[in-house]
Chain A
């Protein structure tokens, strides 16, 4: 979509990059039936993980991102797809159902946004006092914990380059 004005730039950030070790964390991971504490390293024991940070559930970029990843069937690359947002487990359960993403590993619930801070992608929301959330970002983490592909939004809003994500999945 062409706009006749400049989209808002997000400030430069010192975020996790390709070649870095993905910071480990533990948060409630929500699936279509329940939630339980799970560490990123637990998922990595089962294989690579595509970690997808989104704005809060219900925001349109979140809806678009999950719709696109579902349509592309990215889980068929043999990678576990795990989301992260500040939304509660209850909202995540609704999102999993509405976005029809039961085949993904689940959505991590991180209301205090600490995981985004670990990854250097925290975004203070203008007009929502005291609320920060991850800026949209995608990290493909190999089973050994190495980040093989990283994309972090530089504009607000900004969407992943899905073809590049799929290329990275193919290359893993």
Chain B
């Protein structure tokens, strides 16, 4: 199975959230912290620092930026850490 034919959610993953991330990217770590805080099981896919090497992300959210998530419980695919954090809070945060 090459990357181009891989489904957004790996068959072997039980997690319904897939997080596309870059090692040591603070915006990505911000999303990880929120996922942990909300106790959401997620599966990490790491991409390269070079934007031009991030076609896997582009196919999903239309841009080559990370972090990006796919939530296949809701069908949502989105980029931008602030948006993602807001989405996660709204969807899984319960009432505050």
Q: Tell me the A residues contacting B by CB distance below 8 Å.
A: 28, 31-39, 42, 45-46, 80, 89-90, 93, 102-103, 105
Contact = CB atoms under 8 A, between A and B. Distances in A.
A89 B6 CA distance: 18
B47 A33 contact: yes
B12 A34 contact: no
B46 interface: yes
B77 to A, nearest CB: 15
Contacts of A36: 10, 43-46
A39 B12 contact: yes
A89 B46 contact: yes
A130 B56 CA distance: 36
Given A33-B47, A80-B1, A102-B2, A38 B12 contact: yes
Interface in B28-53: 43-48, 53
Given A39-B12, A45-B11, A45-B12, A34 B47 contact: yes
B1 A46 contact: yes
A10 B48 CA distance: 37
B48 A37 contact: no
B6 A31 contact: yes
Contacts of B44: 36-37
Nearest to A42: B12
